[in-house]
Amino acid sequence: MKKSYRIKKEKEFQKIIYHKDSYANRNFVVYILPAEENTHFRVGLSVGKKIGNAVARNKVKRLMRTSLYDLRDSIKPSYNIVLIARPKVVDLSLDEVKNNIEHVFKLANIIE
């Protein structure tokens, strides 16, 4: 994903999480905040150490990025999103990760 679609700064993560508009399923938690000036969505990924070692965490992040890339056309613009992975994500395939992310985005009403 392009840099303009990423959230990297800790202050931005905290602002979105502090807003407390969250939705979850068994494998992911999503926090959303309507953006003020963006014309497209921005997303920050979080994969904690409970997931496993660095190799496992990076694999999960790659799966999450690929899934978001596939879903990018259906995600509503002008949202800031923080997507947090839960520990059971390690055992999932790409299709299962994509389906879980799509499910949690539907719960959050950010997929058209």
Residue 52 placed within a domain: yes
Tens-place pLDDT, residues 13-67? 898 889 888 999 999 999 999 887 767 888 999 999 999 999 999 999 999 999 9
Residue 3 lies in a domain: no
Flag whether 5 is in a domain: no
Q: What domain range is 94 assigned to?
A: 10-108
Angle 42-43-45 from CA coordinates, rounded to 5° = 165
Cα–Cα distance, 58 to 48 (Å, whole number): 11
Residue 99 pLDDT > 90: yes
Structural domain contains residue 69 = yes
pTM of the model: 0.90
- The domain tally of the chain equals 1
Task: Inform me whether the pLDDT recorded for 3 exceeds 90.
Answer: no
Q: What is the CATH number of the domain that holds 48?
A: 3.30.230.10
Sign (positive/negative) of CA torsion 69, 15, 37, 34? positive
- Is residue 104 within 8 Å of 85, Cβ to Cβ? no
A 10 A CB-CB count for 47 gives 23
Percent of the chain past pLDDT 90, that is, above it, reads 64
The number of CA neighbours under 13 Å toward the Cβ of 27 is 20
Q: Is 2 inside any structural domain?
A: no
Residue pair 44/16 in contact (Cβ under 8 Å)? The answer is: yes
